[in-house]
Chains A and B, each alone.
Chain A
Amino acid sequence: MKNVNRLAPTLVMGAATLYFLVPIWWLLVAASKSRGQFTNTAPLWFADFSLVDNLRELFAYRDGVFLRWMLNSVLYTGGAALLGTLLAAMCGYALAKYRFPGREAIFNVVLSGVLVPATALALPLFLIFSQFEATNTFWSVFLPSLVNPFGVYLARIYATASVPDELLEAARLDGSGEIRTFFTISTRLMFPALVTIFLFHFVAVWNNFLLPLIMLGEEKLFPVTLGLYSWNTQVNQIPELRMLVLTGALVSIVPLVIAFLILQRFWRNGLGSGAIK
């Protein structure tokens, strides 16, 4: 009986792990094949190893536009996630720690923003940016990506729980200004929550495919997701692109994997402490 109890979860976890890892394994294997072998060798095992050739071709294709896309993605997502986390933290902290008229109303508005999917906002944003003739610019993707209502929500909950009013009181008595208190004391106490917000935000911006699709026409501004998608829609006409799309997809998940590996320790803490509060 005891063995069964242990076996069942292990099996379920094993199956889930397999389910999530097989596509990545397939991608790795597929990206390591030449075009001819890709179609006529076993899909889940290596043939002749030509990953290096594929990479070389990928980075050389159209004057290395792929590298540019990767850089754009890092700028859009990394930049927006960093700034957006700061904004969310400040906003959530203010809502948690200061009493002012309309506080709950503001919070409720922000909270309802969580319910609006980013996809639904892409077209209205496009029309607004059109009014300012600012479509097809870096800012048309970057600015809307800064906003993260869920982060505000998380920051407020966490600030309420982890930043004691007494501490802020003490800081004030010692003559620390509000801004200084926020950056030197509060952000440190809120750090696990900030990492969580950063990761959520990072993934959300990375996955927000529709906004750049609608906003951008200049290839040099594309994030890697849009660039690879564009190539993929041309595979019918230019089958050579298929291997570039596969190799590119493999390379494009590397930053995400790195971000998670580095930050998962904090994230686990953040999720755990959020759960018990």
Chain B
Amino acid sequence: MRPPMRSLSIALASALALTACSSGGDAEETTTGAAACAPSSGPVTLTYTTWIPGIENVVKLWNDKNPNIQVKVQTGPNGNGGTYANFFNQLKAGNAPDLGHIEYDALPSFRVQDGLTNLADCAEVTAAKDQFVDWTWGQVSFGEQNAVYGIPQDTGPMGLFYRKDLFEKNNIPVPTTWEEYAAAAEKVKAAGGYITNFSQSDISQFAGLSWQAGGRWFANDGTKWTVNFSDEATTKVANYWQDLITKKLVSAVPPWTTEWDNAYNTGQAWTWVSAVWGANSIKSGAPDTSGKWAVAPMPQWTAGGTVAGNWGGSSTAVFKGSKHPYEAAKFVLWLNTSEEALTALNKEAQLYPATKTGAKLPALSEGVEFYGGQKIYDVFATASTQVSPDFVWGPTMTDTYATASDGFKAVVSGTGTLADALKTAQTKTVATLKSQSIPVAE
């Protein structure tokens, strides 16, 4: 297993330039002993970099009970805001933290650059597989045998947030299929609103929608990557939203701006197909609409279907070069599976657990006042089990998101179509992969 990995990493390092070689030597040595996942002798201090707010309160629970495995938290901006770049620099310099927070869509980029420790040697890790929702394990193992490159932490199963009061007042049935959703869009427009806002720069949301429809953007057969943003399912989703945009049935405010908050706060936008964490976004972004929202399952492509998409979520990975993979794995398993830690993570940062039992946490079984007392997490608990397990992210997602988002922005201002924008993004992604010496099948 090792020699091919090494040659791959050297090929990639040449594209990375700088000092990868000089520091690579040390990292190799330290991982040789670590690969066996043996316990270290004596007390151990692990470093853990994450941007989860309030994480130190969660880690304190662990530190108080485990004097021999102390965890030191480091923090920073979110992954794409600079922390991923820092991880890569630290891997080059040979001083990466033991543990890092990596979102599912960024995990492959660390994998192809050989920055992660495979935890498949840790018996406790492989034994924990069944505790996690099936598709999350696919995200961290990339569908390979004997591969575990991170422990799933949180997920973003999707649902339909909608303005219950407005739908009832206007006698519009809550859509259960995408066809009904489009029909509802016409009625909402007639009532003076927009059914939703098309998030021009949230490509990961669009990925979630494609994921639900059966689109598969990337594949890796072990030697080569395949890139396809124009398969039948993705094109179906693209054409569907293109139609709503062309008919001006959706607004197109840039997401995560005050303007966007305002569209929800003032009742201009009536629904949002979003992930479980969106519950908090609406609550804080649209405080004046308290009690007026409800959550339904995501609309389906076939009537009576039960397929959900996922938007977001992250894993905790052990970096190459960590001297204590056994202790690191032990801590992460506690962090991402124990009821104590999951409850604390949910309380501090509204993380939605990736484990099967996590969905039954007391905090996730209660009615939520903002949503009229509805037990909204029941909807997401069901959705989480309906996410297809074989969606794979590419190794250059930041770049893919950027090019696709450029295209989508042009579309909402009237140039081109979503399907064309995706084709352009595909061409550019292939070019980026090649420029980084990552093998691509064409």
Question: A residues engaging B (CB < 8 A)?
Answer: 35-36, 38-40, 62, 123, 126-127, 130-131, 133, 135-136, 213-214, 216-219, 226, 229-230, 232-240
Q: Whose C-beta in chain A lies nearest to the C-beta of B284?
A: A239
Residues of B within 8 A of A130 (CB): 23, 90, 93-95
User: Could you tell me if A236 and B287 are in contact, using CB atoms closer than 8 angstroms?
Assistant: no
Q: Which of A35, A62, A213, A216 contacts B284 (CB 8 A)?
A: A35
Q: Whose C-beta in chain B lies nearest to the C-beta of A235?
A: B256
Residues of B within 8 A of A236 (CB): 256, 281
- Give the B interface residue count (CB, 8 A): 40
User: Could you tell me if B51 and A234 are in contact, using CB atoms closer than 8 angstroms?
Assistant: yes
Q: Is B277 interfacial (CB-CB < 8 Å)?
A: yes
User: Could you tell me if A230 and B51 are in contact, using CB atoms closer than 8 angstroms?
Assistant: yes
9-residue interface stretch from B69-77, B211-219, B387-395: B69-77
9-residue interface stretch from B258-266, B326-334, B377-385: B258-266
Complex CA distance for A49 and B92, rounded to whole angstroms = 50
Q: Which of A35, A213, A238 contacts B53 (CB 8 A)?
A: A238
Q: Nearest chain A CB to B47's CB is how many angstroms away?
A: 8
Q: Which of A36, A123, A131 contacts B89 (CB 8 A)?
A: A123
Complex CA distance for A127 and B92, rounded to whole angstroms = 8
Contacts A35-B284, A133-B95, A239-B285; A40 near B77 (Cβ below 8 A): no
Besides A230-B78, A233-B81, 13 more A-B contacts (Cβ < 8 Å) are A36-B287, A62-B53, A127-B18, A127-B89, A135-B95, A229-B77, A230-B51, A230-B75, A233-B82, A236-B256, A237-B53, A238-B280, A240-B284
Residues of A within 8 A of B49 (CB): 217
Q: Is B210 interfacial (CB-CB < 8 Å)?
A: no
User: Could you tell me if B95 and A213 are in contact, using CB atoms closer than 8 angstroms?
Assistant: no
Q: Which of A39, A62, A219, A226 contacts B285 (CB 8 A)?
A: A39
Q: Whose C-beta in chain B lies nearest to the C-beta of A220?
A: B75
User: Could you tell me if B265 and A40 are in contact, using CB atoms closer than 8 angstroms?
Assistant: yes
Q: Nearest chain B CB to A196's CB is how many angstroms away?
A: 32
User: Could you tell me if B81 and A230 are in contact, using CB atoms closer than 8 angstroms?
Assistant: yes
User: Could you tell me if A218 and B74 are in contact, using CB atoms closer than 8 angstroms?
Assistant: yes
Q: Nearest chain A CB to B78's CB is how many angstroms away?
A: 4
Residues of B within 8 A of A238 (CB): 53, 280, 284, 349
State which residues 39-85 of B face A: CB under 8 Å: 47, 49, 51, 53-54, 74-78, 80-82, 85
Complex CA distance for A35 and B23, rounded to whole angstroms = 48
User: Could you tell me if A39 and B262 are in contact, using CB atoms closer than 8 angstroms?
Assistant: yes
Residues of A within 8 A of B54 (CB): 62
Q: Which of B19, B92, B265 contacts A39 (CB 8 A)?
A: B265
User: Could you tell me if A136 and B284 are in contact, using CB atoms closer than 8 angstroms?
Assistant: no
Contacts A36-B288, A239-B285; A230 near B350 (Cβ below 8 A): no
Residues of B within 8 A of A214 (CB): 85-86, 89
Residues of A within 8 A of B277 (CB): 237
Complex CA distance for A229 and B78, rounded to whole angstroms = 10
Q: Is B97 interfacial (CB-CB < 8 Å)?
A: yes
User: Could you tell me if A36 and B256 are in contact, using CB atoms closer than 8 angstroms?
Assistant: no
Complex CA distance for A36 and B90, rounded to whole angstroms = 41
Residues of A within 8 A of B53 (CB): 62, 234, 237-238
10 contacting pairs across A/B (C-beta < 8 A): A36-B287, A40-B262, A127-B18, A127-B92, A213-B82, A216-B76, A230-B81, A236-B281, A238-B284, A239-B284
Q: Whose C-beta in chain A lies nearest to the C-beta of B261?
A: A39
Residues of A within 8 A of B76 (CB): 213, 216-217, 226, 230
User: Could you tell me if B288 and A40 are in contact, using CB atoms closer than 8 angstroms?
Assistant: yes
Q: Whose C-beta in chain B lies nearest to the C-beta of A131?
A: B93
Q: Whose C-beta in chain B lies nearest to the C-beta of A240?
A: B284
Complex CA distance for A232 and B51, rounded to whole angstroms = 12
Complex CA distance for A233 and B103, rounded to whole angstroms = 14
Complex CA distance for A235 and B23, rounded to whole angstroms = 36
Candidate in B75, B277, B349 with the most chain A CB atoms within 10 angstroms? B75
User: Could you tell me if A213 and B77 are in contact, using CB atoms closer than 8 angstroms?
Assistant: yes
Residues of B within 8 A of A235 (CB): 256
Candidate in B51, B89, B262, B281 with the most chain A CB atoms within 10 angstroms? B89
Residues of A within 8 A of B89 (CB): 123, 126-127, 214
Q: Whose C-beta in chain A lies nearest to the C-beta of B94?
A: A130
Q: Whose C-beta in chain A lies nearest to the C-beta of B97?
A: A217
User: Could you tell me if B75 and A217 are in contact, using CB atoms closer than 8 angstroms?
Assistant: yes
Complex CA distance for A69 and B74, rounded to whole angstroms = 15
Q: Which of B19, B74, B92 contacts A217 (CB 8 A)?
A: B74
User: Could you tell me if A237 and B74 are in contact, using CB atoms closer than 8 angstroms?
Assistant: no
Q: Whose C-beta in chain A lies nearest to the C-beta of B75?
A: A219
User: Could you tell me if B258 and A38 are in contact, using CB atoms closer than 8 angstroms?
Assistant: yes
Residues of B within 8 A of A213 (CB): 76-77, 82, 86
Residues of A within 8 A of B92 (CB): 127
Complex CA distance for A131 and B90, rounded to whole angstroms = 11
Residues of B within 8 A of A239 (CB): 261, 280-281, 284-285
Residues of A within 8 A of B51 (CB): 230, 233-234
Binary contact track B310-329/A, C-beta < 8 Å → 1, others 0? 00000000000000000000
Residues of A within 8 A of B284 (CB): 35, 238-240
Contacts A213-B82, A238-B53; A230 near B77 (Cβ below 8 A): yes
Top 7 A-B pairs, shortest CB-CB distance = A217-B74, A239-B284, A233-B81, A130-B93, A233-B78, A233-B77, A39-B262
User: Could you tell me if B74 and A136 are in contact, using CB atoms closer than 8 angstroms?
Assistant: yes
Complex CA distance for A130 and B94, rounded to whole angstroms = 8
Complex CA distance for A232 and B81, rounded to whole angstroms = 9
Q: Nearest chain A CB to B255's CB is how many angstroms away?
A: 9
Complex CA distance for A233 and B258, rounded to whole angstroms = 15
Residues of A within 8 A of B78 (CB): 230, 233-234
Q: Which of B19, B74, B86, B287 contacts A35 (CB 8 A)?
A: B287
Q: Nearest chain A CB to B22's CB is how many angstroms away?
A: 9
Residues of A within 8 A of B74 (CB): 136, 217-219
Q: Nearest chain A CB to B353's CB is how many angstroms away?
A: 16
Q: Nearest chain B CB to A211's CB is how many angstroms away?
A: 12
Residues of B within 8 A of A62 (CB): 53-54
Complex CA distance for A124 and B373, rounded to whole angstroms = 55
Q: Whose C-beta in chain B lies nearest to the C-beta of A122?
A: B89
User: Could you tell me if A36 and B265 are in contact, using CB atoms closer than 8 angstroms?
Assistant: yes
Complex CA distance for A216 and B261, rounded to whole angstroms = 33
Q: Whose C-beta in chain A lies nearest to the C-beta of B57?
A: A62
